[in-house]
Amino acid sequence: MILRLIPLLFIVTACSLLPGGRSERASYFHTQVKPVLQQHCLQCHNGSQPVPALNLSSKATAFKRSASGRDYILPEDPDCSLLISAVQRGGTHPKMMPRTEVSLTDDQIGMLREWIEDGAYWPEGAAGTLHAQKSAENP
């Protein structure tokens, strides 16, 4: 009987170690994604009339499509997400972001790409509401 349970125990343990659980994605959003968006994007991209039309202050507004029909954030597809095109300062996006002296680092861009590849978890309600913050690099 015990020998039959060992493979089952192994499978349950292995599955619990897989990355990408909801709590892990929530933690990643709050510790990695949210600070970058708040410090580098929200000074312009929030409120009732964000520039140009992208409002990154909540999930409901951030996951909309542009006037041209492209997604700002397309979960699981960073290459088709306008957000990534803009922060990479390359490609065909007409306005490279952020529009400051300080660009996002390669690590920050990679983190945003990874976040989108993993499904772009963003909580609803107060936990997912972002507010502009100043950073040391971008006063």
Q: What does the pLDDT look like over 10-45, one tens digit per residue?
A: 444 444 433 468 889 999 999 999 999 999 888 888
Higher pLDDT, 8 or 91: 91
Whole-number pLDDT of residue 89: 67
What is the rounded average pLDDT for all residues in the chain?
79
Instruction: Work out the average pLDDT over 85-99.
Output: 65
Mean pLDDT, residues 65-85? 92
Distance CA 121, CA 28 (A): 9
Q: Where are the domains of the chain?
A: 23-128
Is 121 within 8 Å of 29 (Cβ atoms)? Answer: yes
Which tops the pLDDT comparison, 57 or 4?
57
Angstrom distance (rounded) from CA 60 to CA 32: 20
pLDDT grade, residue 101 (50/70/90)?
low
